[in-house]
Amino acid sequence: MTRSAWCVVAAGAVVALGGCKKGKAGGSAGFGGGAPMGMPVEVAVARTDTVRDEIAATGQIEAVQSIDLSPEVDGRIVEIEAREGQEVDQGTPLFKVDDAVLKAQVAQLEAQRDLAQQALARAKELAQQNASSAADLEQAEATARSAQAQYDLQRIRLDRTTVRAPFAGAVGQRYVSLGDYVTNTTKLVSLHTVNPQRAAFQVPERFARDLKPGQQVSFRVAAIPGRDFTGEVDFVDPVVQLPGRTILVKARVPNPGRLLQPGMFIEAHLVTAVRPKAIVIPEEAVVPAEGANAVWVVAEGKVSRRPVELGVRTPGFVEVTKGVNAGEQVVVGGLELLAPGAPVMPRVVERGPKAAATADPAAGSRPQAP
């Protein structure tokens, strides 16, 4: 029994039979005058996928409305009708200021109003009988109107001794206690809206043309790990803020479960563009080529190098905006020994690109490949 001869060819390919002959380009081996063998390479298929341009930013949760309530009437607090943390509807009584003096004043003015109206009625009767002058009637009318206005004014002040919630929300910290004397500058309690909330964050000014209301924002909250929240931009500040030269953006976010609270730190991603049929390839297929980017494309058993233009990047994948068509094979393994026109033996490897792409604000909305 004779032992076969072995021959090692480029890239570690081993051929067994009665001898080896040097092949053509790429160091391929031939035997018995057969066709040359190509260099084994791994390839991936360029495919279409949905790619989103996103701007990453940090910010915080804010209440849509948030105020510190103060009384409109001076006096002593005699009732506290809502507890801290309680959710209240619009118009719910929260505090009661002592109204004893105002009640007495209202009763006095009510009597004066009734007396003025009676005097006006008599003046009208006398005027019909030509027993009084027109000036007397006009004086009685003015007195009646003045008495009514004074009564209405004091009645309003009496009603405002009850401090009510101006909007629905959650009662925050209380600053006063029963018996405290308060004025119209005294803070009583804070009140904040609960649902919806707002996500507020700063975006570098170079993205100014990409910002507009209605864009989608997704974010995570440091205090609630593993939970994604989404909202819609409803405010883009028309003024660039100094010294950082950033633009304030706010998005309205549903908060039915009260998970989001004002002041929470967030990491947001603002979607500025969506391309549903973008071409995506593995990032290891991209190689630097004289200050630009290129990929090796396999066609009819041979490779060629093409310059490409890149878009946004996901972990492990990159968008190609020019240079590669969907369905073409790009080399991802065995790039080191390739030469233009070299025959190859491609082996397709599967890749599963993610749909979303995030642009780092520090690098721009379309980061370049290394």
Taking 60 as the threshold, does the pLDDT of residue 258 lie above it?
yes
- Number of domains the chain is built from: 4
284/320 same-domain check: yes
Query: CA 35, CA 28: separation in Å to the nearest integer?
Result: 10
80/186 same-domain check: yes
Lowest mean pLDDT among 9-13, 78-82, 296-300, 319-323: 9-13
pLDDT bucket at 274, cuts 50 / 70 / 90 = confident
pLDDT bucket at 31, cuts 50 / 70 / 90 = very low
235/138 same-domain check: no
Q: What is the average per-residue pLDDT within 150-162?
A: 95
pLDDT score of 74: 94
251/314 same-domain check: no
* Residue, of 197 and 22, whose pLDDT is higher: 197
**What secondary structure does DSSP assign to 123-182, as a single string?**
HHHHHHTT-S-HHHHHHHHHHHHHHHHHHHHHHHHHHTTEEE-SSSEEEEEE---TT-EE
Residue 312: CATH number of its domain: 2.40.420.20
In a domain, 340, yes or no: yes
Query: In 10 A of CB 181, how many CB atoms?
Result: 12
Task: Give the pLDDT confidence of 64-89 residue by residue, as tens digits.
Answer: 999 999 999 999 999 999 999 999 99
pLDDT bucket at 27, cuts 50 / 70 / 90 = very low
In a domain, 30, yes or no: no
Ranges 97-106, 117-126, 290-299, most confident = 97-106
Q: What is the average per-residue pLDDT within 189-213?
A: 93
Beta strands at 246-253 and 197-204: parallel, antiparallel or unpaired: antiparallel
207/222 same-domain check: yes
Host H or E run for residue 112: helix 100-128
In a domain, 14, yes or no: no
204/259 same-domain check: yes
45/132 same-domain check: no
Task: Give the pLDDT confidence of 228-251 residue by residue, as tens digits.
Answer: 999 999 999 999 998 889 999 999
What is the percent of the chain with per-residue pLDDT over 90, rounded to a whole number? 60
In a domain, 293, yes or no: yes
pLDDT bucket at 158, cuts 50 / 70 / 90 = very high
181/261 same-domain check: no
198/269 same-domain check: yes
185/76 same-domain check: yes
pLDDT score of 348: 87
pLDDT bucket at 113, cuts 50 / 70 / 90 = very high
282/341 same-domain check: yes
Residue 138: CATH number of its domain: 1.10.287
Taking 60 as the threshold, does the pLDDT of residue 369 lie above it?
no
Cis peptide before 225 (omega within 30 of 0): no
Residue 90: CATH number of its domain: 2.40.50.100
- Scan for tokens 């029994």, then name that residue: 1
270/197 same-domain check: yes
In a domain, 34, yes or no: no
In a domain, 79, yes or no: yes
Q: Among 250, 274, 298, where does a domain finish?
A: 274
In a domain, 136, yes or no: yes
pTM (2 d.p.) = 0.64
Mean of all residue pLDDT scores within the chain: 84
pLDDT score of 364: 38
- Tell which residue, 101, 96, 77, has the closest CA to residue 161: 96
Structure-block tokens of residue 260: 């989001």
Its domain, for residue 261, covers 55-65+193-274
In a domain, 329, yes or no: yes
Q: Among 243, 274, 305, where does a domain finish?
A: 274
Q: What is the average per-residue pLDDT within 49-59?
A: 89
